[in-house]
Amino acid sequence: MNDQPKRIQRIGVLTGGGDCPGLNAVIRAVTKTAIYKHNLEVLGIQDGFLGLVQNRMHPLTEHDVSGILTLGGTILGTSNKCDPARYVTKKPDGTLETHDVTDRCLEHLAINHIDALVVIGGDGTMSGAANFVRRGVNCIGVPKTIDNDLAGTDITFGFATARYVATMALDRIHTTAASHHRAMIVEVMGRNAGWIALESGIASGSDVVLIPEIPFDIQKVADYVTARSRKGRSCSILCVSEGARPLDGKQVVNHVDPTSPDPIRLGGVGKVVADQIEQMTGVETRTTVLGHIQRGGTPVPEDRVLATQFGHAAIEALTSGKRNRLIVMRGRGVTDIDILEAADKQRTITLDHPLLTAARHVGTSFGD
């Protein structure tokens, strides 16, 4: 690594964290822009930082990235929780041990003559990158999150596809609700931010939307469902973020724990809300948890375009001499910010957000 950005000849690219529609589109844009425009070599590092630790990487050619634009997932593979600064191994006796293997990674970067890294990932992956930045490696980050909750950028790829999948599912659920006079609960992704629930709720005309940002009063939700019944609306659709939580502040956990004595913990928040609503209103309920279909599969066109822009911008930033930037979208324009600036900050829905207001005014209840 050195300070003369003009010397960049070979870059490494990796994807970290959960998969996300558009990752391959970024990899393709990075590789094509690097090769076609700047005559750089590109090495694909396998399975996120794990491939850097284990020195698993291979050249990416124009041919390797041909046809991947429409594919979900990542051709490079990913690893969920590999941070070289806190690398976990198992000792012979079965206990776990944590090491800092950053030096080993730096060695692998040097051996492979990698002049800079394009790091595609979310919060966790950018924390991993920060470690390398501190050691002098030029890292250009490309932000990735299904939930759209990364600070610093107005939008990231993957979100539009998740919104699409969730909305299509809500559309399908609607007819069942109407035919059976039921309240149908659909649990969508969003642990800390309710963007998917809010936008797919608006897009599908959901009656109730529950998001992490607005703790809900289950009595108000029940009253709303009852009021709809009285108006002759025989069904209600509730779109619920997995991270939605009741007013009393207890987080409703998402996974069944058979050893837990706490019955509210059986099933995610969607199931809990369904059970309570059925009991309080007498309206039959059903729950669907969309899960991983929101994050897999071919990206919608919006995400393909956005991911292409981000991948392209990463190489443009690198080749114009920038160091340690995060590619972001501000308004309708792609730009970049310091890669450390957005770390550990989240973009949640503010209570005065215009989308929230619009949703309320067209009749959506947020249970508050």
Q: Which residues are catalytic?
A: 147
Tell the smallest beta-carbon distance from residue 136 to its own copies (Å).
28
The CA-based angle 281-359-204, given to 5 degrees, is: 75
Q: Name 358's Cβ contacts closer than 8 Å, sequence gap at least 6.
A: 202
Report helix, strand or coil for 214.
coil
Closest by alpha carbon to 155, among 327, 314, 37, 323?
A: 327
Residue 175 φ/ψ, nearest 5 degrees: -70, -35
Q: Which is nearer to its own copies, 120 or 244 (CB)?
A: 120
Binding string to its own copies for residues 334 to 363, with x set by CB under 8 A, is what? x-------------------xx-xxx-xxx
Q: Which is nearer to its own copies, 133 or 210 (CB)?
A: 210
Q: Segment 161-180, which members bind its own copies (CB under 8 A)?
A: 163-165, 167-169, 171-176, 178-180
Candidate residues 108, 144, 228, 271; the one interacting with its own copies per rule CB under 8 A = 271
Tell the smallest beta-carbon distance from residue 31 to its own copies (Å).
9
Q: Segment 115-154, which members bind its own copies (CB under 8 A)?
A: 154
Q: Segment 283-312, which members bind its own copies (CB under 8 A)?
A: 286-293, 295-298, 300-302, 304-305, 308-309, 312
Strand partners, 187: 240, 289
User: What token pair was written down for 357?
Assistant: 């207001």
Binding string to its own copies for residues 187 to 226, with x set by CB under 8 A, is what? ------------xx-xxxx---------------------
Strand partners, 142: 120
Q: Which is nearer to its own copies, 270 or 367 (CB)?
A: 270
The DSSP-derived string for 83-137 is -GGGEEEE-TTS-EEEE--HHHHHHHHHHTT--EEEEEE-HHHHHHHHHHHHTT-
Give the sign of the dihedral formed by CA 122, CA 272, CA 228, CA 360: negative
**Cβ neighbours around 335 below 10 Å, total:** 14
Using a 10 angstrom Cβ sphere, with 0-12 exposed, 13-18 middle and 19 or more buried, the burial of residue 66 is exposed
Tell the smallest beta-carbon distance from residue 332 to its own copies (Å).
5
Q: Which stretch binds its own copies (CB under 8 A): 84-92, 113-121, 126-134, 256-264?
A: 256-264
Q: Is the distance from CB of 288 to CB of 173 less than 8 angstroms?
A: yes
Q: What is the CA radius of gyration of the chain?
A: 23
Tell the smallest beta-carbon distance from residue 18 to its own copies (Å).
8
Q: Name 142's Cβ contacts closer than 8 Å, sequence gap at least 6.
A: 26, 118, 119, 120, 121, 310, 311, 314, 326, 327
Tell the smallest beta-carbon distance from residue 62 to its own copies (Å).
8
Number of residues near its own copies (by CB under 8 A): 90
Q: Segment 77-116, which members bind its own copies (CB under 8 A)?
A: 77-78, 80
User: What token pair was written down for 257?
Assistant: 């724990």
> Does 245 help bind its own copies (rule: CB under 8 A)?
no
Closest by alpha carbon to 307, among 96, 115, 8, 19?
A: 19
Q: Which is nearer to its own copies, 226 or 234 (CB)?
A: 234
Q: Which is nearer to its own copies, 22 or 141 (CB)?
A: 22
Q: Segment 5-44, which members bind its own copies (CB under 8 A)?
A: 15, 18-19, 23, 28-29, 32-33, 36-37
Tell the smallest beta-carbon distance from residue 265 to its own copies (Å).
9
Q: Which is nearer to its own copies, 315 or 326 (CB)?
A: 315
